[in-house]
Amino acid sequence: MYLEFFNLDKEPFTLTPDTRFFLDSGPFKDALETLIIAIENGEGFIKVTGEVGTGKTLLCRKLLNTVAENIVTSYIPNPNISSKTLTVSIARELGMKYPASANEYTLQQLITTKLMQYYQNNQKVILCIDEAQAMPDKTLEALRLLTNLETEQGKLLQIILFGQPELDEKLKSRHLRQFRQRVSFSITLKHLNMDVMVEYLSCRLLIAGYKGGQLFPLKSLKLLHRYSRGIPRLINLIVHKAMLLCYGKGEKQITTAIMKQAIKDTEDAYEEKASNALRYKLITAVVLIISIVSAVYWAYQ
């Protein structure tokens, strides 16, 4: 709707994880490089966690498009499945043919044979699993057993889990300690700080073909960062709405008034404040300090 108004080639703040808009710097570049190094080293399990909207799926897709030619990639977007369905999904991702009556054990044997064929052809196989926090415990255990497939030189299958912080909590369970100990690399995607957010905005606008003047006054940027809390998905949503408002008002700059209106219209946009627990700890600490100071004072009177 506003593409022509802003002389853009494409929408810069779409919610679709489009790898053309991947920010190849800062925390995203660091995460991608760490993943590539981990794959080259032949690590079994790699874990990437981050809050909702921090860019895990975009990072996953960028990785799948970036790996070397000798790497065979497979992807499972919804792992809330049984161990048997997981095995079937992996077999399908590897392009395998198998009898419809094959049980889980037979499928695992066929997968092993297929992985050995890739290994003998000097090819690595990686499996990326998105939304891994939704995976049932029994399915996680079945996944762990698949990483037992190895030669003396390395694993036949490398697995990268992308999930929300609930995945970390799940793996703290005692009955999953064997799985937890198999995780060789652990990456956390954090919220963007102000500087990275500005770079993120500039990158997306540049890729979309923007050649206009300054779109964001400093006060608008501060509002955006405060209420998006540095979450890329929220940043995209708020700025998209702000540009729509600009188009409707015939303005070429996202003023503080427009930014406030866009923020107000975004349900999950709010200013992060200290939790009640943190406030209680701070108050307790202050009371303790006052008590110590008072005790010392009266001790010398």
Interval 209-219: pLDDT, tens? 999 889 999 99
Return the structure tokens found at 148.
């037992």
- Extents of the domains making up the chain: 19-189
Q: What is the pLDDT of residue 287?
A: 55
Task: Check if CATH label 1.10.10.10 holds for domain 19-189.
Answer: no
Higher pLDDT, 286 or 92: 92
H or E stretch covering 60: helix 56-66
Helix ranges restricted to H, 94-162: 104-120, 137-146
What pTM, to 2 d.p., does this model score? 0.85
**Confidence check: pLDDT of 66 > 70:** yes
11 CB-side CA count, 13 A: 16
Q: Between helices 218-228 and 256-264, what is the axis angle to 10°?
A: 20
Q: Which of 75-79, 143-147, 235-239, 290-294 has the largest mean confidence?
A: 235-239
Higher pLDDT, 15 or 286: 15
pLDDT mean across residues, the chain: 88
Q: What is the pLDDT of residue 288?
A: 63
Q: Alpha carbon of 141 to those of 25, 71, 117, 147, 177: distances in Å?
A: 35, 25, 25, 10, 10
pLDDT tens for 80-118 read 999 999 999 999 999 898 888 888 889 888 998 999 999
Q: What is the pLDDT of residue 294?
A: 62
pLDDT tens for 230-269 read 999 999 999 999 999 999 999 999 999 999 999 999 988 8
Question: Could you tell me if 49 and 168 are in contact, meaning their C-beta atoms sit under 8 angstroms apart?
Answer: yes
Q: Residue 192's closest CA among 28, 69, 9, 66?
A: 28
Q: Which of 35-49, 144-158, 216-230, 270-284 has the largest mean confidence?
A: 216-230
pLDDT tens for 158-187 read 999 999 999 999 999 999 998 888 898 999
Helix ranges restricted to H, 182-301: 194-207, 218-228, 232-249, 256-264, 276-299
Measured CA to CA, the distance from residue 151 to residue 131 in angstroms comes to 29
